[in-house]
A and B are shown apart, each in its own frame.
Chain A
Amino acid sequence: MGTVQVENVSKKFGERLAVDSVSFEVRDRELMCLLGPSGAGKSTILRIIAGLEPPDTGTIRIDGKMVNDLSPKDRDLAMMFQSYALYPNKTVYDNLAYPLKSSKVPEPEIKNTVSDVAKTLGITPLLSRLPAQLSGGERQRVAMGRAIVRKPKAFLLDEPLTNLDAKLRVNMRAELKRLQRELGATTIFATPDQLEALTISDRIVMINQGRILQDGAPNIIYDHPNNIFSATFVGSPAMNILDCSIEEKDGRLVLNSGDFTLHVSELAEFIRKGTSQSEAVLGVRPEHVVLTQERAGPSSIPAEVYVTERTRPEQIVHLRIGKTMMQAITPLTFQCDAGQRVWMTIDPAKIHVFDKHSQNAIV
């Protein structure tokens, strides 16, 4: 296995800048996730690393060696495509054997490797079938198998789970992680699904419009998003985002959303240091909005229940405070119904504050 370094890579398609000076490093045996909405440039980055697309500028290093001028097959990487790209006129066995045959591996060795891989993935009974005779999940396994037979330096997986139905996707997600650990495989994995990224990756690189917004462990991305995009893209239901003004009231710093105010004197120092403007954006994760039937304290804010979604095992409560809409997650035992009045409390230690213009995190 190996490491992959991407340094200052840019790529333009016509006038559109698809990848904008992207740099990151994938460590040995790491499962790294490129997370971003469709069209963010994830696939393009993978294809540039694979050598299917030349970058306009920047370098790609594998194990420290620059590979910009190497053809895809000489880079010793395996790529799994979103469509799986199985060879339709070859049996599963031949699909798995093909990468080995191309690199002139002797026949008996091919046989052994293919049967080992098939055993690992549980597809031994399918070896004589054609791709058209397989289910979605089986095709995904075969595609996975074709990537691992060659024992490459790193795997590039382009949305490997997107084409599966919801239930299978969750199973395969865990399978993928187990396989990655078992093989100790350096893996770069592109996905638009934040849950997938949060649950299985060692590290997430957030991408939007071809630019890296944040690079860090899943809990860092979740707990300390450094901009509004990462904050709202990761987490479900999404973080509550409210425009507010920074005001001083009785000598204490408050955030005023227009419909309610939040005392943030503990954060005053950071906010003052972070911005000189009087406008900011407040972000609160739904699980940090605590609901009570009675007023819980002086900082409690009255709100009206707009609608509840019982997602089980919790419920999402949509709240209306004046013109502001917010979401909160509460246990199902919390009794509330549309139109009812409840009290919400927000712990200032758990809030996020973003600069209104740069969209970057202040706190």
Chain B
Amino acid sequence: MAYRKKSVSGQIVLYICVLLILGFVLSPYLLGIVTSFEREPELVARPPFPFKAITLVLDNYIYILSYEPFRLAFIDSTLVAVTTTCFVMIAGSMGAFAIAHLRFRGRNFLFNFVVVVYMLPALAMLIPIVVLLKELALLDTILGVVFAHSILLLPLMTWFLIGIYENVPADILEALQMDGTSRIRALFREVIPLSRFGFFLILVFSFVTSWNDLMFANTVGIVQVKLLQPRILEFMSASRTLYTQMAAGGILSSLPVVVLAIALQRQIIAGIMKGAIK
């Protein structure tokens, strides 16, 4: 063992620090979980700390899951996030591949353009996008939200993908070219599999951003289209806030993200291990 053996007290201090940081980071989420299993009267009757013995019930989840608009919003949100992610990954990959590996006039301009657009605050784009969608008669449609999310995500994800695809050696692409592989085939059959870890990371990032979006979902979707986050927000109104139901909705809406994050972590660890055992 190359490492110095740490003293027991040192270990204890270390673990306490880790627990404190974890507690700080996770406390809102944990509190949300607890709240989602509580009855509202009990919740409002006491402050969150210190904990008292509470009765955990499934009422909130039963309510949420039997609440038809929520189920529809779940489906719609899935549809939006999946479509947006597919579009962003395909279009972004093509753009990133071109900027990373093809030499053409205007390449640097395009690259800079992508960077500048990505730096614009999302809020600055909100009004123009809404106006544009209204003109296209896409306001308050699923396609409209997909469109808005794609505009928001495409520059950023393209920018990330450029960095990822640049790592594929140019020689390999030229060898593919010599062997008669078309560019599109080279991208989808060789470049993406070679950069699959980065690709998967960006994919998850796209999905999560679209899934968690409230601002665009709440502006582009009005009556016909209510996605998950705006639907959860509805539990909070001027007159009354349904805390426990809202918490249950929030926890449910976070499940796909948590699952993806765990899957991603496995992929990343697999990627690191693969690099280590050469």
Tell me whether A and B are bound partners.
Answer: yes
**Which A residues have a C-beta under 8 Å from some C-beta of B?**
47, 50, 52, 71-73, 77-79, 81-89, 98-99, 102-103, 132, 146
A50 touches B171 (CB 8 A): no
Residues of A near B171 (CB, < 8 A) are 81-85
Residues of A near B178 (CB, < 8 A) are 50, 52, 72-73, 77-79, 99
Q: List 26 A-B contacts (CB under 8 A).
A: A47-B174, A50-B178, A52-B174, A71-B177, A72-B177, A72-B180, A73-B177, A73-B178, A73-B179, A73-B180, A78-B178, A79-B175, A79-B178, A81-B174, A82-B171, A83-B171, A85-B169, A85-B172, A86-B172, A87-B175, A87-B176, A87-B190, A89-B193, A89-B194, A102-B181, A132-B278
A85 touches B180 (CB 8 A): no
**Complex-state Cα separation, A85 to B177, whole angstroms:** 12
Residues of B near A84 (CB, < 8 A) are 171
Residues of B near A52 (CB, < 8 A) are 174, 177-178
B179 touches A98 (CB 8 A): yes
A85 touches B175 (CB 8 A): yes
**Which B residues have a C-beta under 8 Å from some C-beta of A?**
169, 171-172, 174-181, 190, 193-194, 278
**Complex-state Cα separation, A73 to B181, whole angstroms:** 8
Most-contacted residue by chain A among B177, B178, B180 (CB, 10 A): B178
Quick one: closest A residue to B181, CB to CB? A102
B174 touches A103 (CB 8 A): no
Quick one: closest B residue to A98, CB to CB? B179
Most-contacted residue by chain A among B179, B181, B190 (CB, 10 A): B179
**Complex-state Cα separation, A132 to B172, whole angstroms:** 14
A85 touches B179 (CB 8 A): no
Residues of B near A88 (CB, < 8 A) are 172, 194
Quick one: closest B residue to A75, CB to CB? B178
Residues of B near A77 (CB, < 8 A) are 178
**Complex-state Cα separation, A146 to B179, whole angstroms:** 9
Ranked nearest first, the 6 interchain pairs of A and B with the lowest CB-CB distance are A73-B180, A85-B171, A85-B175, A102-B180, A99-B179, A81-B171
**Complex-state Cα separation, A89 to B181, whole angstroms:** 16
Residues of B near A81 (CB, < 8 A) are 171, 174-175
A25 to chain B, nearest CB (A): 22
A102 touches B179 (CB 8 A): yes
**Complex-state Cα separation, A158 to B175, whole angstroms:** 12
Beyond A78-B178, A81-B171, A102-B181, 19 additional contacts (C-beta under 8 Å) are A47-B174, A52-B174, A52-B178, A77-B178, A81-B175, A83-B169, A83-B171, A84-B171, A85-B169, A85-B174, A87-B175, A87-B176, A87-B190, A88-B172, A88-B194, A89-B194, A99-B180, A103-B180, A146-B175
Quick one: closest A residue to B185, CB to CB? A102
**Complex-state Cα separation, A132 to B177, whole angstroms:** 22
A87 touches B278 (CB 8 A): no
B37 to chain A, nearest CB (A): 47
Residues of A near B180 (CB, < 8 A) are 72-73, 99, 102-103
Residues of B near A82 (CB, < 8 A) are 171
Residues of A near B179 (CB, < 8 A) are 73, 98-99, 102
Quick one: closest B residue to A90, CB to CB? B190
A196 to chain B, nearest CB (A): 21
Residues of B near A50 (CB, < 8 A) are 178
Residues of B near A146 (CB, < 8 A) are 175
B92 to chain A, nearest CB (A): 22
**Complex-state Cα separation, A52 to B102, whole angstroms:** 11
Quick one: closest A residue to B175, CB to CB? A85
Quick one: closest B residue to A158, CB to CB? B171
**Complex-state Cα separation, A82 to B172, whole angstroms:** 11
Residues of A near B190 (CB, < 8 A) are 87, 89
**Complex-state Cα separation, A48 to B178, whole angstroms:** 12
Residues of A near B177 (CB, < 8 A) are 52, 71-73
B175 to chain A, nearest CB (A): 4
A219 to chain B, nearest CB (A): 34
**Complex-state Cα separation, A89 to B191, whole angstroms:** 10
Residues of A near B174 (CB, < 8 A) are 47, 52, 79, 81, 85
Residues of B near A89 (CB, < 8 A) are 190, 193-194
A187 to chain B, nearest CB (A): 15
**Complex-state Cα separation, A82 to B181, whole angstroms:** 20
**Complex-state Cα separation, A212 to B174, whole angstroms:** 26
Residues of A near B193 (CB, < 8 A) are 89
Quick one: closest A residue to B103, CB to CB? A53
Residues of B near A73 (CB, < 8 A) are 177-180
Quick one: closest A residue to B193, CB to CB? A89
A164 to chain B, nearest CB (A): 17
A35 to chain B, nearest CB (A): 22
Residues of B near A132 (CB, < 8 A) are 278
**Complex-state Cα separation, A84 to B175, whole angstroms:** 9
**Complex-state Cα separation, A102 to B186, whole angstroms:** 11
Residues of B near A85 (CB, < 8 A) are 169, 171-172, 174-175
Quick one: closest A residue to B278, CB to CB? A132
B42 to chain A, nearest CB (A): 56
A207 to chain B, nearest CB (A): 21
Residues of B near A99 (CB, < 8 A) are 178-180
Quick one: closest A residue to B171, CB to CB? A85
**Complex-state Cα separation, A184 to B180, whole angstroms:** 24
A305 to chain B, nearest CB (A): 48
Quick one: closest B residue to A79, CB to CB? B178
Residues of B near A78 (CB, < 8 A) are 178
**Complex-state Cα separation, A61 to B24, whole angstroms:** 71
Residue in A71, A87, A103 whose CB lies within 8 Å of B172: A87
Quick one: closest A residue to B275, CB to CB? A132
Residues of B near A102 (CB, < 8 A) are 179-181
B272 to chain A, nearest CB (A): 15
B180 to chain A, nearest CB (A): 3
**Complex-state Cα separation, A50 to B179, whole angstroms:** 11
**Complex-state Cα separation, A25 to B210, whole angstroms:** 59
**Complex-state Cα separation, A103 to B176, whole angstroms:** 12
